[in-house]
Amino acid sequence: MKLELDRASSVPLTDQIVTGVQTWIRSRAAHPGARLPSIRQFAADYRISRFPVIEAYDRLVSLGYLDSRHGSGFYVSEHARLGLSGMGTCDLSNAADESGHLLSQLNRPGETLQLDSGSIPQAWRDIEAIGQAIRHVSRTNPSSLVDYGSPLGDATLREHLRNRLAPLGIAVDAQQLLITEGASEGLDLLMRYMLKPGDTVFVEDPGYYNLYGLLKLHGVRLVGVTRTASGPDLEHLHALLAQHRPRAFFINTVFHNPTGTTVSPPVAFRLLQLAREHGFTIVEDDIYADFQADPTDRLAALDQFEHVIYVGGLSKTLSSSLRIGYVVANPAIVRDLASIKALTSISGSCFTQAVAATLLERGAYRKYLERLRRRMAEAIGAASRTLEDHGWELFAGRSSAQAGVRPYAQSGGKFIWARVPHVDDSARLVPCGEPFGVSASPGSHFRPHGEPSPWLRINVAFALDPRAQAFFAAAARVPG
């Protein structure tokens, strides 16, 4: 067994060892029952501490790759091949943490105030309009309740979405747009289409943990690019491009999750220049587009789909249950994605897509968005003032500006990225919410490899609840 470990990498040594041993076993170079080097020998061979080796071996035993024999050592499991035969190249060990973050949110008691949630409160949704649209479709389009649809998606909905993209400067025809079951399916289809195990991709740091989990599931190598208040840190990106040849860069341009910031025009132009110079594709995740009242430049509009693929959706605003996402790209890519979708899910939900089309056609969604945008703007202003009054620092707020950070003016959406200035690891703040029934997630959940972070993601829709106020005050008293 010969592994390549990079001590200078942002990927923890434990993760590198786990991935390396998994690759060795999958390559069939390892036979069931083969003995691995002892922990002491492995550490000596690679000139590293024994601690990451201990953790890696324990993880590999838990995953069924290795057997631990007391007093003898570690061996390739007799069942490893059988267990891997149906797994392909999926790296479930690396994906588990990210899926766990989401599952923990979905499984919390109903009375818990989910300050780290990605959802909008039910009271803010237009439940009545959704119900009316459902009844209308049930009466007028009964075939949508039982039939398959086109892998490309409902033609009427695609036309409505195409018209909604025009104000963003994204002019496309229907053959460039594929409807998906939420943006997550769109991202998954793109990964299947673009990437192979071992490829390097750039992601934002911090960013969205489900994106990280999906990429790890596809066996690719993640490299984090520091996110600033104006977009990706260009100096950091330049340095990384000198070391790596990324296949793609996944970026959240508008109202970024988790910081709420938007890529500034100078950064956007430079990103496109670098994509052309270095030959990588930018996957522009614009899932929060509809929260923005005054549109800013999109990479897809500036690039016209030469080096950019665009992902959007309605689920973040309209309904988490009406899973409507979409991918926009050149026609050849869309045809290939539709073929992959036909093989993996046949088609999306005709009924769900017809309901969404009805809401758009009747103007109900437009009116709902106007109300939602006003409500979110009020919430983010009030939450920002409250946090700063309690002594918190905002990633794109007054305290950050005073510290020398100049955020781009366009920030908003659902999230504030905030920290208690004297606390280096936000994991220490999370227990402060327990006495008040408040759930929070440490900032490490939003970093590519779970690195510690002083920041917390706060959903502004829940930030003015008295329980949240009590949490902010208690967290600010945590000693440094």
Query: For 155-164, what is each residue's pLDDT tens digit?
Result: 999 999 999 9
- As given in the structure block, the two tokens for residue 6 are 């990079």
pLDDT confidence band for 59 (50 / 70 / 90)? confident
417 and 359 fall within a common domain: no
Q: Kindly give the residue spans of alpha helices, DSSP state H, lying in 242-320.
A: 265-278, 299-303
- Cα separation, 270 vs 201, whole angstroms: 18
Decide which of 363, 396, 417 is a domain's last residue: 363
- Cα separation, 418 vs 454, whole angstroms: 8
Decide which of 363, 392, 408 is a domain's last residue: 363
- Min mean pLDDT across 25-34, 173-182, 225-234, 238-247 is at 25-34
Give the H or E element holding residue 352: helix 350-361
- Residue 270: which CATH number? 3.40.640.10
* Residue 451 within a domain: yes
- Residue 46: which CATH number? 1.10.10.10
Q: Count H helices and E strands in the chain, helices first.
A: 17, 15
DSSP state of 181: S
What average pLDDT does this structure show over 135-140?
96
- Min mean pLDDT across 18-27, 378-387, 462-471 is at 18-27
- As given in the structure block, the two tokens for residue 336 are 């290939």
- Cα separation, 65 vs 357, whole angstroms: 48
What average pLDDT does this structure show over 300-309?
95
397 and 461 fall within a common domain: yes
Q: Name the nearest CA neighbour of 354 among 172, 174, 155, 163.
A: 155
233 and 336 fall within a common domain: yes
- Min mean pLDDT across 79-88, 98-107, 306-315, 441-450 is at 79-88
Give residues with Cβ within 8 angstroms of 192, minimum separation 6. 218, 340, 344
296 and 378 fall within a common domain: no
* Residue 4 within a domain: no
* Residue 461 within a domain: yes
What average pLDDT does this structure show over 27-31?
74
Q: How many domains does the chain have?
A: 3
What average pLDDT does this structure show over 282-294?
95
Decide which of 329, 345, 363 is a domain's last residue: 363
Give per-residue pLDDT as tens, 340-372.
999 989 889 999 999 999 999 999 999 999 999
- Cα separation, 341 vs 150, whole angstroms: 10
* Residue 6 within a domain: no
358 and 237 fall within a common domain: yes
- Taking 60 as the threshold, does the pLDDT of residue 393 lie above it? yes
- Cα separation, 472 vs 455, whole angstroms: 13
- Min mean pLDDT across 57-71, 128-142, 202-216, 450-464 is at 57-71
* Residue 275 within a domain: yes
Give the number of other CB atoms < 10 A from CB of residue 166. Answer: 10
Half-sphere exposure of residue 346: CA atoms within 13 angstroms, side-chain side: 5
383 and 410 fall within a common domain: yes
pLDDT confidence band for 226 (50 / 70 / 90)? very high
210 and 348 fall within a common domain: yes
270 and 337 fall within a common domain: yes
Give per-residue pLDDT as tens, 408-446.
446 789 999 999 999 999 999 999 999 999 999 999 999
79 and 169 fall within a common domain: no
Q: Domain range for residue 114?
A: 95-124+366-476
397 and 351 fall within a common domain: no
- Residue 107: which CATH number? 3.90.1150.10
* Residue 284 within a domain: yes
DSSP state of 125: S
278 and 232 fall within a common domain: yes
* Residue 139 within a domain: yes
- As given in the structure block, the two tokens for residue 193 are 């289409």
465 and 333 fall within a common domain: no
Give residues with Cβ within 8 angstroms of 448, minimum separation 6. 10, 203, 205, 207, 212, 222, 223, 224
* Residue 2 within a domain: no
What average pLDDT does this structure show over 152-172?
95
pLDDT confidence band for 30 (50 / 70 / 90)? confident
- Cα separation, 94 vs 217, whole angstroms: 7
Would the CA dihedral through 165, 167, 169, 175 be positive or negative?
positive
